[in-house]
Amino acid sequence: MSNILDKIFLDKKVELVTVKRKLSVQDIKTKIANSIFKVRDVKKLLQSNAGSSIIAEVKLRTPFKGDLLKNADPINIAKTYADNGAVALSILTESTHFGGSLEILEKARMHVDIPLLRKDFIFDDYQVYEAKAFGADFFLLIATWLDKNHLADLLLLGDELGLPALVETHNEKDMEKAVEAGASILGINNRDLTTGKTDLDISRRLVPMALQVAGSLIICESGIHSRGEIDEFEELGAHSFLVGESLMTSEDIGKKLKEFIGDRKISAKN
């Protein structure tokens, strides 16, 4: 086991065996057929804002920093994000290392009316069906860990279910793989998931590369701490920003979110 990312995926594989015994694929498909949830047009909504587009993340802890906010109510946080202008929410559903769950995703879906990203370590068709069944509007795929054909297969299944995937990249090789697999929502993660280290130069290198892909939606992830950084990456061409720790650890989550969104977004909504 070479790094924390490998460990998380290995743990997820072990966990999934038990999950499938409790709820079969057919059970999941039945849940989808009976679902009252309607999938939102993620790409349209993320690009329709007059100002900055922030995907606010509900993340209770990380394997790198431990608890981010003790005794937190994830649903109240989700509602705070939605009430203060987030264009979408990212919901961590990995339990062992991040303290999330599919139940949080499903409850959030019942309380907010903006797109929800299922953020997890997805490698199996079953998990894509789960995302749909529990109320996600799009789901995360990590290019660093998945090979091109595997990535393409999961993207195709998502398309069949009406769920686009945010394909997360961290370097040029990841970006090439994501594009070749057919991804159109391209995430650029400034955090190295094998070490936890964050470097904004990752986005400075990869945003111009992603812009060469016609019709792509570019999402800058991790390491955003100020409005000035958002301004910089918008100038480079980023369309949206996924922000978690800076919000979860702030004294006033709603105020911090509005700072990231900026006056342009707030005035556009009024």
**Per residue in 158-197, is it b (16+ CB within 10 Å) or e — as a string?**
beebebbbbbbbbbeebbebbbebebbbbbbbbbbbeeee
Catalytic residue among 52, 53, 57, 177: 57
Whether 229 is a known active-site residue: answer: no
From the list 106, 130, 221, 234, the catalytic residue is: 221
Residue 189 among the catalytic residues: yes
12, 52, 53, 59: which is the annotated catalytic residue? Answer: 59
Q: Distance (Å, rounded) from C-alpha 27 to C-alpha 128? A: 14
Place of tokens 């111009």: 208
Q: Is 95 a catalytic residue?
A: no
* Letter string b/e over residues 55-84, b meaning 16 or more CB atoms within 10 A of that residue's CB: bbbbbbbbeeeeebbeebebeebbebbbeb
Reply yes or no on whether 149 is catalytic: no
- Which of 84, 203, 216, 222 is flagged as catalytic? 222
User: Which listed residue (12, 94, 106, 119) is catalytic?
Assistant: 119
Residue tagged active-site, from 84, 189, 240, 246: 189
Compute the residue count for the chain: 270
- Catalytic residue status for 221: yes
- The yes-or-no answer on residue 130 being catalytic is no
Q: Give the active site residue among 106, 130, 168, 229.
A: 168
Question: Does the active-site annotation cover 222?
Answer: yes
Q: What is the DSSP letter of 124?
A: S
Residues assigned a catalytic role: 57, 59, 119, 168, 189, 221-222
